[in-house]
Structure 1
Amino acid sequence: MSGAEEASDAPELYFADVFVFVSDYLAQLIRRRVNGTSATWCPTWWEHPEAGARLSALWLAWEHLRQDPALGMSTWWLHHADPHLRVLMDADSGPFAACSPKDGHTAYPFDPLPVDPRPQPES
């Protein structure tokens, strides 16, 4: 089977991209107290690389699991949405911790994780 044939077998995406998924589905569905204390959110979530990666993973998992009429959505909630939303909306240590749902985005208030250089092999 060629790459083109495999692509034609893939189910069509319901949402065109992660931006549409978040704005038209997730943001309309999730109703939480986002006061910046118990939970928070950044209106410009795409400015946070971790949030973009997590929300893209949520979207792609949703696209895949929606095809399972029996357990797909339950699996998505329990194993994807709930854990990712807990991290994303954590007002103390999540990627939006310095942002405010009311006042908006704070650009990169935290340093990246420290990484030492990889040891070079001895010659």
Structure 2
Amino acid sequence: MTDDETDFDSVDDEEQEVRSELVFSSLEDFVTRYIAQVVRRRLSRSVAMWCPAWWAHEEAVARLSVLWRAFEHLKEDEALGLSFWWTQHADPHLSALMDPDHGPFALCDARDGHAEHPLGPLPLTPSPPGMWDDPVFIVDFSPKDGVSTSLPGSPGARS
């Protein structure tokens, strides 16, 4: 194998090793075995909403995916990891998801299921040509004189 070739078998083995260290094997597993079992709420149009077909809502999939990934990462910190996960991840994401007026499940019903006509995407107007070329909008994370300009917590960031 040349330096330019990738050993896909070793990549698959590494991915399998990481997956075997996970508590939950997939997003669906995480939602089914953890979120739906642990999170208990009175569901009503005035308190909190949930859609049994949560997977049909892009925002729900996005938010629950980051909750799952954060859970799998933070569970390693035995002292404060899951406390941090609840207060800094789960509570705000679940509040946004289950908000009966503004959340993605607002038109659904826990008993009746997924709304026939769910909320559509946010309306957009294309930006004017060249608007994003202004230097104020350009983010450059390349190292300058050996000093990383990465945001804290981003790949390549220094502690």
Amino acid aligned to 2:108 = C
Q: Partner of 1:88 in structure 2?
A: 97
The whole-number CA distance in structure 2 between the counterparts of 1:42 and 1:10 is 30
Question: Helix, strand or coil: the match of 1:105?
Answer: coil
Residue 34 of structure 2 is aligned to residue 25 of structure 1 = yes
The whole-number CA distance in structure 1 between the counterparts of 2:117 and 2:67 is 23
Q: Deviations over 1:67-110 (max 9, x none)?
A: 00011001000000000010011011100000000100014432
The whole-number CA distance in structure 2 between the counterparts of 1:75 and 1:107 is 37
- Deviation, 1:115, is 1.3
Amino acid aligned to 1:78 = T
- Deviation, 1:10, is 4.8
Q: Partner of 1:34 in structure 2?
A: 43
- Stretches of structure 2 that go unaligned for 5 or more consecutive residues are 1-5, 132-159
- Stretches of structure 1 that go unaligned for 5 or more consecutive residues are none
Q: Partner of 2:72 in structure 1?
A: 63
- Deviation, 1:121, is 3.2
Q: Partner of 1:99 in structure 2?
A: 108
Conserved 8 A contact 2:98-2:105: yes
Conserved 8 A contact 1:36-1:101: no
- Supply the RMSD in Å over aligned alpha carbons: 2.1
Conserved 8 A contact 2:59-2:104: yes
The whole-number CA distance in structure 1 between the counterparts of 2:125 and 2:81 is 41
- Provide the identity percentage: 51
TM-score by length of 2: 0.68
The whole-number CA distance in structure 2 between the counterparts of 1:82 and 1:39 is 13
1 or 2 for the larger relative contact order (CA 8 Å, sep ≥6)? 1
Give the number of the structure whose alpha-carbon radius of gyration is greater: 2
Q: Deviations over 1:14-44 (max 9, x none)?
A: 1011100000111000111012321110000
Q: Partner of 2:3 in structure 1?
A: none
Structure 1 ranges of 4+ moved more than 6 A: none
Q: Partner of 2:144 in structure 1?
A: none
